Amino acid sequence: MKRLHIVVVYNAYVENVPELPEDRGGTADLRTQIRHVARTLRKIGHTVTVLPLSHDLFQFQRKLRRLNPDVVFNLYDDVVQGAGYEMRLAALVRMLGFPLTGSPALALGLTRSKGMSASLLAGAGVPVPPHTAILETVGEVDRHKWAFPIFVQPSQEHAGVGVDRTSVTHSKTALKLKVREILRNYNQPALAQRFLPGREFNVGIIGGNRLRVLPLAEVDYSALPADIPPIMSYAAKWIDTSPEYQNTRVSCPAEVDPELGKRISQVALHAFRAVGGRGYGRVDIRLDEFEQPYVLEVNCNPCLDEGMALARSAEKADISYPKLLQFIIRAALEPLPHDPEISMLPMRRTAASSASQHPNSNSNP
């Protein structure tokens, strides 16, 4: 691949809350990851500029124009509650005419709210957990018939935020308590759905116009003490001193019979395509008691840390970390078969188009 000028964008906005040093989702870890991606890209011969973005999209535009990169590597990850910055940034970069890694604005926006994306996926024929409901008040709990256990979480967060030991509820009282807590602490509706008791898989997907499923990863909860529910909570994901973190393993490639593996991969691909995902993604899937796969979540632009999640699955397919980053850049540079954000590409001024844009050349009012 030829030498490119790559601008790596990340979220420099820090919330005014103290961070725990053992929290692997904190700012210090984020900075380390960004530096690592930049270093890897430089090692494979590219020129890299790291561009932090907090709120000032005007200044960001000016800087990006001045830098005039061949491609923008999008490592921007929202931390603002219910935020839509991710999609705005993606839209803006495309409007300015630069190729962008990962998913387009539309996919980022559609998958930002879990309730919204579950309903869209269901509409597209993708299986989502049964009895999915959005609860905007505690009183709404009484309007549904529940088959416990019910899983409940904030409807617009990600990365395990708001998911803990009490997220699996066994009674209406417990469900109401949890809904109240979510409404109060996260200032957003709660998403409740049937708790699926089966195996859990993370399906990595990479590619541009042709998508490819990476070896499946399975979350192994078998070492967890009996009083901790088998879920990927915030603690299991990020707090390395917690029993959740220490007793949850991910095995990749997952040991799964080929027929089931194929079904899981197809459901994941269907979901990623349905939301318009591109470049790289991770679909979280869980089985019910009859081994039927359901989509918990489509993660567009998921975590790209070396040795973790998507990167680990890629390694199992003999795609080293530098190769994975190259793959993602190449996908960003592929011409789109059609651009879902038509108006986001600057108009190319040709003789024909400027003639047709002349006010007198158009007889239609």
Out of 151, 272, 321, 327, name the contact with ligand ADP by CB under 6 A: 151
Tell which positions 154-173 bind ligand ADP, by CB under 6 A. Answer: 158-160, 163
The full 3-state SS of the chain, as one line of letters, equals CCCCEEEEEEECCCCCCCCCCCECCCHHHHHHHHHHHHHHHHHCCCEEEEEEECCCHHHHHHHHHHHCCCEEEEECCCCCCCCCHHHHHHHHHHHCCCCECCCCHHHHHHCCCHHHHHHHHHHCCCCCCCCCEEECCHHHHHHCCCCCCEEEEECCCCCCCCCCHHHEECCHHHHHHHHHHHHHHHCCCEEEEECCCCCEEEEEEEECCCEEECCCEEEECCCCCCCCCCCCCHHHHHECCCHHHHCCEEECCCCCCHHHHHHHHHHHHHHHHHCCCCEEEEEEEEECCCCCEEEEEEEECCCCCCCCHHHHHHHHCCCCHHHHHHHHHHHHHCCCCCCCCHHHCCCCCCHHHHHHCCHHHCCCC
Q: Which residue is nearest to ligand ADP (CB)?
A: 232
Identity of the residue, 63 or 158, whose beta carbon is nearer to ligand ADP in the bound complex: 158
Give the number of residues in contact with ligand ADP, rule: CB under 6 A: 18
- Determine, following the binding rule CB under 6 A, whether residue 287 of this chain makes contact with ligand ADP: no
- Determine, following the binding rule CB under 5 A, whether residue 218 of this chain makes contact with Mg ion: no
What is the nearest approach in angstroms of ligand ADP to the Cβ of residue 321? Answer: 22
Between CA 296 and CA 348 the distance in angstroms is 41
Identity of the residue, 75 or 285, whose beta carbon is nearer to ligand ADP in the bound complex: 285
What is the nearest approach in angstroms of ligand ADP to the Cβ of residue 292? Answer: 13
Say how many residues make up the chain.
365
Out of 195, 238, 272, 321, name the contact with ligand ADP by CB under 6 A: 195
- Determine, following the binding rule CB under 6 A, whether residue 112 of this chain makes contact with ligand ADP: no
What is the nearest approach in angstroms of Mg ion to the Cβ of residue 341? Answer: 26
- Determine, following the binding rule CB under 5 A, whether residue 297 of this chain makes contact with Mg ion: yes
Out of 90, 105, 138, 232, name the contact with ligand ADP by CB under 6 A: 232
Out of 104, 129, 279, 293, name the contact with ligand ADP by CB under 6 A: 129
36 makes contact, choosing from Mg ion, ligand ADP, none, with CB < 5 to 8 Å by partner type, with: none
Give the number of residues in contact with Mg ion, rule: CB under 5 A: 2
What is the nearest approach in angstroms of ligand ADP to the Cβ of residue 211? Answer: 20
Out of 51, 196, 203, 252, name the contact with ligand ADP by CB under 6 A: 196
196 makes contact, choosing from ligand ADP, Mg ion, none, with CB < 5 to 8 Å by partner type, with: ligand ADP
Report the relative pairing of strands 5-11 and 279-287 from DSSP bridges: unpaired
Identity of the residue, 78 or 297, whose beta carbon is nearer to Mg ion in the bound complex: 297
Q: Which residues sit at the interface with ligand ADP, rule CB under 6 A?
A: 114, 129, 151, 158-160, 163, 193-196, 200, 231-232, 284, 286, 296-297
Q: Write out the residues near Mg ion by the rule CB under 5 A.
A: 284, 297
